[in-house]
Structures are given as C-alpha cells and as structure tokens.
C-alpha cells in the first residue's frame, strides 16, 4: 500500500516538496537553537514555557478527537463514519508526532530525553504523557493501516484490531486528561489550577478535531474523487457545535468563579488577559479574539441554513479552529506565568526561532498526514462505487 505515496500528480509533488522545504527550514532553525541554547527563544526564567508547549497541548487535543469518530461508529453503529475513520486516525498519528516533536524541541537537554523512560516517575504527570502519547500514535497507526488493508483486500477487520479500537476509546480520554493534569496540578499558578481544566481540554479537543476534519474532507472532495457523505459531515457539525457550546459554558463558569470570588491569585491573570495590567497587554487582542471566535462560530452553526451551506460551514469551522487554537495553542500556557510569582509582569513574545521550528514541525506533521491520506484516498478511490 505504501507505494501509493509515490504515485501522484504534479500538484501533489509541488505540495510535498513545499512541505519538505518547510521541514528543512525548521530543521536548520532547530540546529541553531541546539547550538546556541534556549536563549534564542522568547522564554525566560519568568515565563518558562511558551509556544512549543502550547502547540503540544493543542495538538494532543486534535489527536484525542479521534474518539468523536470512532465512538459513534463502533458503539452506536453510525455507518456514515466508516469512510472517515482512517482519516481521523491518521490525523491523530500526524498530530501526535508533532506533539512529541514539540516536547523534544522544548527540552534544554534533548540528548538526555531517554532519562524519562529510564527513570519512570509515576508521580510526574509528564511521565504519563510520554507513555500515552506514543502509545496512542502507534495504536492509531496500526488500526488505520490494517483497516485500510482489510478494505483493500475486501476482508473483514481482524478481531484484535477491533480490540485495539475499543482500547483506543478510553485511551483518548485518559491521554488528554493527563495533559490537562500537567497544568491543573501546579500550586501557585492560579490560572491553571482549576478542576475545569481537564473537562475543558476534552471539549475543546472534540470541537477542534471535527472542525479540522470537515475542512480536510472538503479539501479532499475538491482535489480527489474520494467523497465523504453529507450525512457524515453533518454529524461532525453536530458534535462540533455541542462541544463548542459546552466549552462556552465551561468558560463562563470559570469566568464567574474567578471574577465573582475575586481572589487576586486567580483574577490577576484574567485581568491581564482581558484588560492588561499597567500597560502590558500583549495577550489582550488574542483573548478577545478567542472569545469572539467562539461566539461567532456557535452563532453560525446553530442556524440550520448556515451549516448546510458548505462555504459558510467552512468559514465557521475556520473561525472555531482559530479560536480554539488561540485558547490552547497560544494563550493558555504563557498566561499562567503572568504575573509571575513575585507579582511582576514579564511578557512573553515567541521568537522567530521558535516560530520557524514550529513551522518545520507543522510541515513535517502535514507531510506525514499527506502521505497517509494518499494511501487512504487511493485505496478508497479503488473500492468505492463511482
């Protein structure tokens, strides 16, 4: 099946080469960071985590959203999703690879990364991430690959693959919950220390994943002969809409608790995010954009006429995705360090090195997803009735 990756049209190869160039640029930036040290990033002793850890958080969420496709299909027998499970699972493979690379880019001593498996530490939440992330990546790769192979040979799925599929369902929830626990378990960072963190991580994941899948399915439909049924798309829209609404509710609950109780340790960061403190307001536009995007996306998607109109739907998905990315992929991580433990404002702008390395990682992940999708689409094009 892998040979399908090497047969493509001109547009395919231009796309692949562009991504490969992105990977090359990112790699060069990484070598620069490796040679110079972490001072070339925008991070500091006050804001000690930044853009890398943010991307890791966002992408784990996208990966966990595979649950929203597998669960209706295998527990509720929603057959329309059978055509997109492989797409969802391979999306998870690509995003988890990116997550792991983002962690790798963030550590100061990457050559010692094996110290994590060599010294297993059950009381560290990061340890669980290093177990569950690669595990989920491998599980989804195996499931997706064998499922596509079975489809190509027109044989039923092996029994053990079904077992893996059922295993992957709780796995997705646990994986993203331990990601939230990294943040929710830190004393002294009021912005993170909230029990709503894990639930909110899950709902934002279950909104971001379907939004991305709808965009991808539409792109695939325009570029190839592979068709995803409207029924499947509309189901994804429903899932995304409810996830967004629950997220908005969770956010509202958090805002109420923080602002009404008004304990400085918890309000200070929110004050910085919404209004800025003493003129320091780098994250203010981002915060307003995020909240606005959430409301606009919900507003568009609740209108039946709008969500059945494909261009409007795509616009809503992009707006939702931007809002969710700002939330988890830009604001959430650095904001908890502002103000710092001494009550001072030390802002964090990501440096060009961080952004270039991130570009490279995104390009690599997209390249992997492209290759996997090429296999899926080639097989599906052969088997589907045109």
H/E run at residue 76: none
Minimum CB–partner distance for residue 384 and other proteins (Å): 27
Q: Record the tokens describing residue 178, joined without a space.
A: 């331990």
CA distance 349 to 359: 16
H/E run at residue 347: none
Minimum CB–partner distance for residue 129 and other proteins (Å): 9
Q: Write the DSSP symbol of residue 280.
A: B
* SS3 assignment, position 230: helix
90 vs 192 by CB, closer to other proteins: 192
Minimum CB–partner distance for residue 301 and other proteins (Å): 35
Report CA-CA distances (Å) from 84 to 12, 156, 246, 262, 376.
21, 17, 24, 46, 10
Site residues (CB under 8 A) for other proteins?
36-39, 43-46, 48-49, 103, 106-110, 112-113, 115-116, 118-119, 121, 123-127, 130, 182, 185-189, 264-265, 277-278, 336-337, 339-346
Minimum CB–partner distance for residue 190 and other proteins (Å): 10
38 vs 371 by CB, closer to other proteins: 38
189 vs 221 by CB, closer to other proteins: 189
277 vs 318 by CB, closer to other proteins: 277
Radius of gyration of the chain (CA): 21
CA distance 188 to 210: 34
Minimum CB–partner distance for residue 38 and other proteins (Å): 5
CB 363 within 8 A of CB 58: no
Minimum CB–partner distance for residue 339 and other proteins (Å): 7
115 vs 384 by CB, closer to other proteins: 115
CA distance 194 to 175: 18
146 vs 186 by CB, closer to other proteins: 186
């Amino acid at each position: 099946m892998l040979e399908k990756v090497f047969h493509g049209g001109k547009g395919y190869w231009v796309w692949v080469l562009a991504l490969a160039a992105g990977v090359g640029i990112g790699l060069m930036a990484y070598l620069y960071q490796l040679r110079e040290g972490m001072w070339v990033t925008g991070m500091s002793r006050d804001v000690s985590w930044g853009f890398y850890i943010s991307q890791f958080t966002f992408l784990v969420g996208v990966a966990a959203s595979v649950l929203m496709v597998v669960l209706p299909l295998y527990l509720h027998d929603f057959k329309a999703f059978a055509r997109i499970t492989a797409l969802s699972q391979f999306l998870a493979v690509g995003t988890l690879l990116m997550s792991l690379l983002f962690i790798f880019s963030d550590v100061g001593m990457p050559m010692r990364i094996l110290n994590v498996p060599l010294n297993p530490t059950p009381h560290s939440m990061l340890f669980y991430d290093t177990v569950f992330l690669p595990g989920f990546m491998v599980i989804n790769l195996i499931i997706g690959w064998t499922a596509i192979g079975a489809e190509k040979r027109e044989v039923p799925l092996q029994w053990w693959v079904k077992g893996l599929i059922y295993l992957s369902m709780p796995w997705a929830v646990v994986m993203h919950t331990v990601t939230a626990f990294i943040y929710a378990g830190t004393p002294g960072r009021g912005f993170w220390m909230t029990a709503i963190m894990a639930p909110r991580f899950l709902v934002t994941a279950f909104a971001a994943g379907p939004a991305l899948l709808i965009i991808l399915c539409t792109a695939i439909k325009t570029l190839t002969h592979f068709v995803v049924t409207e029924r499947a798309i509309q189901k994804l829209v429903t899932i995304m809409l409810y996830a967004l609404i629950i997220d908005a509710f969770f956010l509202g609950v958090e805002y109420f608790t923080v602002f009404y109780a008004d304990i400085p340790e918890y309000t200070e960061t929110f004050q910085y995010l919404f209004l800025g403190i003493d003129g320091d307001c780098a994250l203010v536009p981002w915060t307003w954009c995020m909240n606005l995007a959430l409301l606009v996306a919900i507003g568009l998607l609740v209108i039946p006429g709008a969500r059945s109109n494909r261009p409007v739907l795509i616009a809503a998905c992009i707006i939702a995705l931007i809002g969710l990315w700002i939330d988890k992929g830009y604001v959430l991580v650095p904001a908890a360090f502002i103000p710092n433990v001494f009550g001072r404002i030390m802002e964090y702008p990501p440096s060009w090195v961080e952004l270039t390395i991130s570009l490279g990682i995104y390009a690599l992940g997209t390249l992997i997803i492209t290759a996997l999708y090429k296999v899926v689409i080639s097989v599906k094009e052969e088997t589907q009735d045109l």
